[in-house]
Structures are given as structure tokens and as C-alpha cells.
Structure 1
Amino acid sequence: MKKNEDSDQPLWKAYIKEEKYWLGAVAGAVIVFLLMFWLCQLPLTVPAYLACLYLICQSGLFFYRFSQFRKYHEYLENMTGCPETDTLGERLPKDTTVCEADYQKLVLGLLEKKRILTEEQIEKEKEASDYETLWAHQIKVPIAAMRLILQTEECECREELKGKLFEVEGYVEMMLCYQRLGSLHGDLAIHSCELEDIVRKAVHKYARMFIRKKIRLDFPDFHCQILTDEKWLQFVIEQILSNALKYTQAGSVSIRCDCEQKLLTIQDTGIGIAPEDISRVFERGFTGENGRNERTSTGLGLYLCNRIVTELSHELRIDSVQGSGTSVSIRLDNITIL
């Protein structure tokens, strides 16, 4: 017999519990009927026959009502598992009692409130997204003006200011990328690319930071054709290089490619990641021990990288020894073209 999941008992037991007063009334009527004949010292043959006939009729009614109860339960159970809540009100079974009608009014009222709250939430999110997009584009104007000023004006801290301005541009780009995550799949353009060219563009972007921090770059030539989206993979590599430079005060950053396995590895000699943080580095907003020490950490860089790499059907892996550096590997051989 099918289980009633809500009460964790067989459905027929749940039905008996629901109809206990009716069943009690039927049993009580039979007992009173027979008791009256017995007290009057009348023959019990005829009333016993009538009592049996009455019980048979009530049993048939019991099984009929149980079958209706089971169908009703299964129908509601299927509705519970259906994700389409917008049409739930139209699919509610016809009410047969006053209480069922009251419950349906309550459900329809709650659905209407949910619809209103959902629309309000969507509108608020759209307004916030529009404002963030507008801000990100407007901030590019003063950034460009500051860069122009730094290129023409001579001052002792110009290089340092250029570095800070570069960081600001990176954060703006990260925010724009975060906004496009929802429509990322439709923005992908998968085609054959030369991996070395993508990596060189990312390295060129951070060339000044390598020089300013005096970090040695170990980047031997390689040739590896891959299927990917060049723009988004370059963003991922840039984020990994940014983290490597941020958490490496001295030493080197090496970039290696295993062309046979389509495996790109970026390794630094920085401060590394605490063992307890490794499993959580891809969580949104998680900064870990390093992030608490580095106040400018947002906890979004690796989250974005993992989301993009997953969308590209690649695979991202991080290995680290605290105090000895971090190795980030991107496996690029499992691209799926839909």
C-alpha cells in the first residue's frame, strides 16, 4: 500500500484516522440495534441479518470513499511536485465541501501575494542592475581622464597611482562580468583558438605590475589549439594572474601548458592558501584567511572564474601549500558544443 509521506504511515491508516468518527457511528449504530433486540429478549436472527446487510453496504461505501480519497491525495501530491506555480490556481481540484472552498481561497490569496512580491523583487533587481550598469559605464569617463592626466603630468607617485587606477579598472570589469553571468551562455562564441595568444594578451595586460613588483615571469613558448571562447577564457586567465601577483611579494609566476592533455597551469611562489580554505575558494564572497589580511579582496574573482570555466565546459582546479605558493590548472580538452 502506498505511504502517506506527510504522516509516514500507510494511506489506508491515514484514511481510517480521518474517518474515525463516521466509522465509530456505524459501529455504534449496529451495537445499539442489536442491544435493543437483546434487551427486549427478541430473537436476534433477523436483526443480525439486517446488521450484516447494513455493514456490507457501509463497507462498499467505505471502499468507494477510500478510492476517491486516494485519487484526491495523489492528484494533490502531483501538484505539489509540479514547479509551475503560476497555473496552480487553475489546476486545483473542484471543492466539494465548505472547508475545501475556504482552503482554496486561502491558497489563491497566497499565490496572488507571491505573484505581487515576485514582480516587485524582479523590478527592484532590474533597477539595481540598470543602475550598476550605468555606474560602470559612467565611471569609465573619469578613469580615462585620470589616466590621461597621469600620462601628461610628472609627479613622484605617478607609477603608484597608475597601479591603483589599474586596480580600479579591474574591479569595474569584474562587476560588469558579474552582471553578465545570467546571460553568459548566450554570449559565448566557441571556436578554435591559439591558447598561447590568449595567455600573452593576459600577460601583456599585467606587464607593468610584474615590473613594478619585480616578479619574474617564466613563460616558455608553446603552441596549442583549443576550442573555447577567447574573450571569456582571457578574463579567467587575467583573474588568476591578478591573484598570483596580489599574493606574491617576491619570487616568480610560471605558466606551463601540456598540449597533449590541453592543460594550462599557472603557478606562483606567493603566500598560498590555508588548507581549510581550499574547498571554499570558489564560493561567492568567500575571502578566507588571505582575504581577511588583504582588505581589498572581494571574494568574487575565483567565483567568477569557476562559473565561466564551467559554462565553457572546462575544468578549474587549485592546489596550494600555505607559505609555498598556489597552482591553478585549467583543463581545456572537454569542451561541449551545443
Structure 2
Amino acid sequence: MAFYFKTHWRPFLACLAIISFVAVIIGLTDALAWSLVLYFLGISSFLFLLLFVYDYYTKRHLYRFLSGETLTMLPGDSSPISQQIQSQFEILRKKEEKQFTLMTKRREQQITFMNLWVHQMKTPLSVLEMMAQNHQLSPTAVLTETQRLKNGLNIALNEARLSTGFQADFLLKQLSLKEVVTSAINTQKSTFIQRNIYPVLTISDDLIVISDEKWLAFMIEQVLTNSLKYSHSGEKIEITSSETNETVVLSITDYGLGIPPSDLPRIKRAFFTGENGRKFGEATGMGLYLVNQVAEGLAIDFQIQSTPSLGTKVTFTFQKIKK
């Protein structure tokens, strides 16, 4: 009641002033006797008082909440403004709960990923240590293990960037698709040599796409990493492109182990390693998940087709921007 009076005493006094002014004018014009004028003034003031009491009663829970007497808004208020505030309050509360749930899930995902990532990074370090102890530090082997470390660090860095807001960390511009793919292949050069696998690049020199160079290179590198990991020695990885009036399609095809049909619908999920990942024991289950997140952010259609023992084909479809 105190908070309501604090916020409504000015309107109440303004109403009394207006009524009094009208009553005085009527009295001075001798239209009514002063006794009737005072009667009119008293009845009008009483009716306005009842109006304010009724207004408080219909909004009493709202004003109790606003004054801090209670921490919840009860649905007893029947006024439209109270109902609207109650509705908006519920919407904001549910939104905050959803945001909190997403943040909690994201934090748990980061902790799980870091635990897996640290475990995975121990392998190349152990290999390097063992080669050093046995005096077997060949340049190719060292480059292969350091490349594994770089791939792991790259995934960890980009996972952190995605968690802090992908939209603030990309720049769209015209890119030569062949140059981006060539750069991605060069980052995996030592692994290609070590695994005796050869890239076959068939992309037109003048093929242009609109995308972010850094994130596009990350997606291609991650797909190449998987193709190299699950391909047999002596095979090839084909990188080709095609073009229509509306789209540009980049295809990366390997002829390795392939993906079991039961795993295919789930390979874009976080931490899903699948049958091949469990066999090789080197998968964090975050690579394709991050690729899918980046592809969605850049409006690139990311699809995977695979047949066990025959290989896997990954396609990125870019929409052309018309002049």
C-alpha cells in the first residue's frame, strides 16, 4: 500500500484539485447553492478515492512485488497491465533459464573436450619422446607428430572461439577456392608424405566463393585430417569442384575405410567418435562437430556420404551472391 500511495499521490491530488476548481467555478457563477457545491465536492472526492482503492486492489500483488514485499508475482491481479507484466516476466524467466542451461551445457562440453584433448595430445608427445630416446628422430616422423599436435591445438583454439561467439570472429570476402584448398593441403603436406597418400586437385583457377578464409581453411583441413587418418597407404584423396548458376560445390573424396551406416547420422554430434574412432583411438569426436557449427554459421551446406570399405565423400555447397 505504501508503494502504491508513493507512486499515486500526485494523480490523486491532481484529481482533487480539478474537482475543487470546478466546484469553485460553479459556486461563483451562482448556478448552485454553496451547500450543493460542497456536497458535489465531497461525493466526487469519495468516488475518486474508491476508484484508487479499486485500482490498488486489482494490482495489489504487482505493487507488493515492486515494493520488495514478495519475490514472486501471484496470478491474482486481474488488471490487464498486471497480466501483461506477469506474462512478460514469465517469458524473461524462461529465457534466462534456457540461457543458463545452454551455458551450463557448454561449460560441461568444454571441460569434457579439454579432458579428451589433453589425453589425445599425450600420444604424439610420447611418440616423440620414445623416438628421441631411441635416437630415431627422422625429419618426416617428427613433422608427422608435430602436425598431429598442430591439428589438436587448432581444434582446441577454434572450439574456444566458437564458444565465445562465432559471429564476432569472421570476415566474409571473395576467395579463390583453389588457393584456400591448396593452402589447406600444404598444412597437411608432411602427413600426406608419411602416409604415402596423394592429393588430386581439380579446381578451376578462377572459381570464386564468398566466405571467411580462416574458417573455410579450418573446415577443409579438418576434413583432410579425417581422410588421411582413415585412408590406406598408396591411395589418393580427390578434391574437385563443380558449379551451377546458383551454387559452387567443393567435394573431398577418399577411398578409405568409410563410415558404417549406423554411425553416419550421428557423426556431426559433439564427442561422437564412432566405430572407426574407437578402433584407432585417436578421435576426440569434435572435428566434424566443429566443422558443422562453422558451416551453419557461414551458411554453407555440409554433407557427408560414405560406404564402408569404399570411402567417404564430403561436400561443401556455397550459395552464389548475385550482383
Coarse TM-score class (shorter-chain normalised): 0.5 to 0.7
Q: Does 1:200 align with 2:210?
A: no
Q: Does 1:168 align with 2:152?
A: no
Q: Does 1:227 align with 2:210?
A: yes
Q: What is aligned with 1:214?
A: 196
SS in 1 for 2:314: strand
Report the CA distance between 1:220 and its aligned residue.
2.4
Deviations 1:8-32 (CA, angstroms, capped at 9, x unpaired): xxxxxxxxxxxxxxxxxxxxxxxxx
Q: Does 1:252 align with 2:233?
A: no
Letter in 2 for 1:167: R
Q: What is aligned with 1:270?
A: 256
- Counterpart CA distance in 2 for 1:332 and 1:263 is 6
Deviations 1:200-239 (CA, angstroms, capped at 9, x unpaired): 1001111111111111221124131111111101000000
TM-score (structure 2 length as normaliser): 0.58
Q: What is aligned with 2:173?
A: 191
Report the CA distance between 1:315 and its aligned residue.
0.6
Report the CA distance between 1:292 and its aligned residue.
0.8
Aligned pairs, how many? 217
Report the CA distance between 1:322 and its aligned residue.
0.2
After superposition, where does 1:292-311 map in structure 2 within 5 Å?
292-311=278-297
Q: What is aligned with 1:157?
A: 137
Report the CA distance between 1:255 and its aligned residue.
0.3
SS in 2 for 1:332: strand
Q: What is aligned with 2:225?
A: 242
Which blocks of at least 5 consecutive residues in structure 1 are unaligned? Answer: 1-70, 73-87, 97-110
Letter in 2 for 1:237: I
Structure 2 residue aligned with 1:332, among 301, 305, 318? 318
Report the CA distance between 1:181 and its aligned residue.
0.9
Which blocks of at least 5 consecutive residues in structure 2 are unaligned? Answer: 1-57, 60-69, 79-92
Identity percentage over the alignment? 28
Q: Which moved more, 1:178-187 or 1:215-224?
A: 215-224
SS in 2 for 1:258: strand
Structure 1 residues 234 and 335: CA distance shift in structure 2, 3 A: farther
Q: Which moved more, 1:323-332 or 1:209-218?
A: 209-218
Structure 1 residues 240 and 95: CA distance shift in structure 2, 3 A: same
Letter in 2 for 1:320: S
Deviations 1:91-138 (CA, angstroms, capped at 9, x unpaired): 444689xxxxxxxxxxxxxx9xx99xx69x87x959x88xx7xx99xx
* Residues 291, 297 of structure 1: 8 Å contact kept: yes
Q: What is aligned with 2:275?
A: 289
Structure 1 residues 335 and 282: CA distance shift in structure 2, 3 A: farther
* Residues 257, 311 of structure 2: 8 Å contact kept: yes
SS in 2 for 1:244: helix
- Counterpart CA distance in 1 for 2:232 and 2:71 is 62
Q: Which moved more, 1:265-274 or 1:250-259?
A: 250-259
After superposition, where does 1:24-39 map in structure 2 within 5 Å?
none
SS in 2 for 1:164: helix
- Counterpart CA distance in 1 for 2:320 and 2:276 is 32
TM-score (structure 1 length as normaliser): 0.56
SS in 2 for 1:284: coil
Structure 1 residues 285 and 304: CA distance shift in structure 2, 3 A: same
* Residues 209, 320 of structure 2: 8 Å contact kept: no
- Counterpart CA distance in 2 for 1:226 and 1:289 is 35
- Counterpart CA distance in 2 for 1:204 and 1:276 is 33
**Does 1 or 2 have the higher relative contact order (CA < 8 Å, sep 6+)?**
2
Deviations 1:309-331 (CA, angstroms, capped at 9, x unpaired): 00000110000010011000000
- Counterpart CA distance in 1 for 2:218 and 2:318 is 15
